[in-house]
Structure 1
Amino acid sequence: MDSLYNFDSDCEGGGMNISDEEAKELLLYSNGMVFYTQCILPILLLLGFLDNAAFVYVVTKQSSMKTATNRYLVNLAIADIVFLLSAIGEKLWKFANSPLVDDDIPIGPVGCVVLPFLVDTAYFASLFFVTLVSAEIFFAVCYPKGKSLFQHRTWSLWLTVLAWLLSGITAGLIAPSNTGLEYLCFTWSGSELTKSLPEVLAMCGRELPWLRTLMHVVQIVPFFITLFLNAFLYVKIVIGLNRSIIRLRSHTSVKRDGDTHLRNQIARMLVVNGVIFFLLLAPFEILSLLEAVNVYLSTSHEVLTSTITRGLMYLNSVVNPIIYTAMSQRYREAFKNAFTPTPKCRLLGSLPNRGGQPSSTQTYFKMSQTTTKI
């Protein structure tokens, strides 16, 4: 829209004449957008809040689940909750308070700064915590005898604080591009379609090219850095698992089928989680990359593409705990124990590990007696 119309700080110069066709195409919610906003977004918000909150509850309730990996995953779940509440909540609030698409008047100048800051902070935090999980698993595979900083409780807490701090700083670099409101004023045709529409629309931010470019760069760079870093770690993890199995076969008599199955389970969980996480975020980041180099789609295609890519981002925050639970029997058992009333004499699942099943990433790696170097 801003490529077709000029925004101003006030409406003293009068509004521009808008035809019914332009209003329908550019300014009003289509039937598809109404369905998406009224039905799809609330469902994503509800599901995402419930399953992420359930994951946090399970980990805090089950003593055996309090591992370094799960501390990072709990913070990932918290970041997803904040992201969904801020991003989807903003869309629903604006839809309920203005008939015009992307009208930021309902959130005001304060909302222009606070809501994007929360969204961006949560988004960057999710990137950092997924990377911390990958790094923790990498050290568990490649250095099973050592106690890495990622696994030590004190250091994992500091890394958690650092991840949130870096997320806030990175989001703060984008904040200047959202300050203030730019107004667009209209003179409607007076038809039945437009006679009840407001004459002013506002959008957050200033129309300064360098601010827009800065916003895209700051948003894109962390994504692609963490994408390539996680891909590198996943490759190293799979290689490390294969080397561990080869060493194990040459030193012990453990059945090969069991080794291969456990290796494949770990590798599959990593690959599935990483691929889904970055695949759902990639379309939005690619669209931002195109805009950063001044490549724009047509107006109708831009609206559709933006809606789809943002919807995939919301979906990503919904499916994160589902992936881990679906791919890990340990998480499924923890959910069952947390939400199923059990007699006290049978509350074994909630007790800490004491020589039983090793915690998450240590399940396989404790079997190997020699360190696998990469």
Structure 2
Amino acid sequence: MDREALARTDRVPHGGVSDRSVVDFSANTNPESPAGVTPVYDAARAAARRYPSDDYAEFRTAAGEYLDCDPQRVIPTAGALAGIRLVCALAVDPGDRVLLPEPSFGEYAREVRLQGGTPEFVPHDAVLDADPAGYALAIVCTPNNPTGELLPRCDREAFAARCRAADTPLLVDEAFLDFTDASSLAPQPGVVVARSLTKVFGLPGLRAGFLVATGEWRDALETARPAWGLSTPAAAVGAHCLGQAAFLERTRERVASERDRMADRLASRFTVRPSDAPFLLVDVSAADVSTADVSTVNGADVDAEDRVDTEDRADADVDGVDALLANARAAGYALRDARTFRTLESHVRIAVRRPAENDGVLEALDV
């Protein structure tokens, strides 16, 4: 890590709220988890009085079967983000250029900057057409966060081939690919795939994920990964969840059905991007959203201090996004302020949850 970069690198805002009195539509995690998680966790917690076995054989085997690859190509990590940091630490030196999509997950640029590198941004829908030559690393997110589109496999493979020809390693973030029936790009030479187990299995606090790589990259990542980087409970629960094929199928069906239903309703008032992910990106610029709505949400009085989004926002002149966030919050729903993503100025991101919860937030948004 480049110590000089620390002084000019900020933390990245994310979704997720700690207030349990609201329904959280700001984080893109499954509101449901597979059966059997609790006894597996409890048993692993008892075993946590000893260090975990650093070979993580059971976890690697489950991940290998899940992606139909050699388990030895699996690198256990404490969530996908820990894997992304590990890749950036190995690939990026001070002064290096890294190819990134925009808008996309803000942690990519942060991790590049922490290594002293320079992020160079390409529109998210054109990143696979970019020339990867001359970059220390290229990063692709599919489905992309926050726009939601799944990049076609043939285009992903063609870009991976161009990266190999340019001797540019490619990191593909597939954190939301589990919500689709699309196949992973792992394992391919020169490609490192990052996977998160906490989103589709509804356990973001567990911090479990893995990388998949081949050849020299696999060897480098295996050597560089922290010892005991995955806790005993995370490894046990992760291995259990990876075997829950029926749960995954039910989740995909529910998300696809509810996402389409929500998009249709939201489109009556807002501009909604097509999505293959468990969330929708909504442009509110064309809608008439007034803070006057806040005072009578669901027929209840709302205090003046609740009339704007209180999360890092002190601007008295609230715009449509502020008003929409406040209206939803007063009704008991937290949405994601998507203006924290590059190039987005009038957007919110709304997760897809259970039908009854989705009905509630749609009613709160007057659609």
TM-score range (shorter-chain normalised) is under 0.3
TM-score, normalised with respect to structure 1: 0.21
**Higher relative contact order structure (alpha carbons within 8 Å, sequence separation ≥ 6):** 1
TM-score, normalised with respect to structure 2: 0.22
Return the structure number with greater strand share.
2
